[in-house]
Amino acid sequence: MSLCNRNLKMSAVVVVHGGAWAIPDDLAKASVDGVKAAACEGHSVLKRGGSALDAVEAAVRALEDNTVFNAGHGGTLNTEGEVELDAIIMDGRTLGNGAVSSAKNIAHPVTLARAVMEKTSHCMLTSRGANQFAESIGMATVPTETMVTEYERKEWEKHKNYVTGVMEDFNAQWAHDTVGAVAVDCSGNVACATSTGGIRNKMVGRVGDSPIIGSGGYADNLSGAVSCTGHGESILKVTLARLIISHIEQGKSVADSSQLSLQYMGNRVHGAGGAIVVSPSGQWAATFTTERMAWAAVDHDVLWFGLDPNQRSKEQLSN
């Protein structure tokens, strides 16, 4: 245990994001508060010797519970007014991963994704199959009314008349508040998790980047863990998470790897987004090409957080 504590001081880190997009001022404080709280949740897990996998799950669960974010509770509605949820979790030690797409009315899709990884021989379940599996392990479904916020219902009504499931050009004004977390624990294991309700008024059954390994997230003890957010279709086209990892594998820093990859995404497919990354040695970065990204990290008992480009605020956490 004492060996673990010593290592904890060296490298256990958790980073979370609450979405990369033009977060409006009236959501700014709640978004930053939300990611700070989630980062602290993840940090508590790491501090008591928990695994990176446990930490990212705990952090993302906190974000899924928070209706200001588009994941779990507070998820956006598809064109038929239903909530369809996607999530992924990955263990950098074994490359084990679990994902769900289009799961309906589940409070914690990240936990369901973890169950896919740990309780089945598969990596991904979709739709009705995902929900049947949830039922088989005793995971309750939540009524739609409880999952959907008044704000979201109003936005859906507004956009339903304007455009249905189509985004003509990538518009950073559209909400992309997917949530995610990455962590490295005191054993040097890395993990990632990403969770989302997708884009507002998406077509029924639309699957974005979040649950797709290599796009919404990737974790490998040999290089690091990544969670992405932003324009899903663009992230998919460049397999953003795996692209960032490939730069790290070639010796670049986590910050440069993220920057280069996001720039490439902007140049090649005109998409903007953000990524959080952690390396097995505890280097971390939170990078975005959208107007804002709510993010927070705990590293050596310091809570870092930001919203606007180049913002890095900090608070000392009490031991």
Instruction: Give 49: exposed, middle or buried? Use CB within 10 Å, 0-12, 13-18, 19+.
Output: middle
- Integer Cα distance of 153 and 170 in angstroms: 22
Which two three-digit tokens encode residue 91? 């263990």
Give Cβ neighbours of residue 289 (< 8 Å, ≥ 6 apart): 20, 230, 262, 263, 265, 266, 272, 273, 274
3-state DSSP call for residue 12?
A: coil
Handedness of CA 219, 234, 298, 60 (dihedral sign): negative
CA angle (12, 110, 96) in 5-degree steps:
65
3-class DSSP assignment, residue 65? helix
Contacts of residue 16, defined as CB under 8 A and 6 or more positions apart, other chains included, come to: 35, 38, 39, 42, 59, 60, 63, 179, 180, 181, 276, 295, 296, 297
Q: State the residues that interact with other proteins by CB under 8 A.
A: 94-97, 99, 101-102, 120-130, 132-133, 165-168, 202-208, 212-215, 218, 232-233, 236-239, 242, 246, 268-269
Q: Is 10 helix (H, G, I), strand (E, B) or coil?
A: helix
Catalytic residue selected from 111, 178, 196, 229? 178
Supply angle C-alpha 3, 43, 208, rounded to 5.
Answer: 125
What residue ranges in 27-131 does DSSP mark as E strands? 84-91, 97-104, 124-126
Q: Which residues of 300-313 are buried (b: 16+ CB within 10 A; e: fewer)?
A: eeebbbbbeeeeee
290 is catalytic: no
Q: Which residues contact 250 (CB under 8 A, 6 or more apart)?
A: none
Rounded alpha-carbon distances, angstroms, from residue 216 to 24, 195, 242: 24, 9, 9
Number of Cβ atoms within 10 Å of the Cβ of 26: 7
Active site residues per annotation: 178
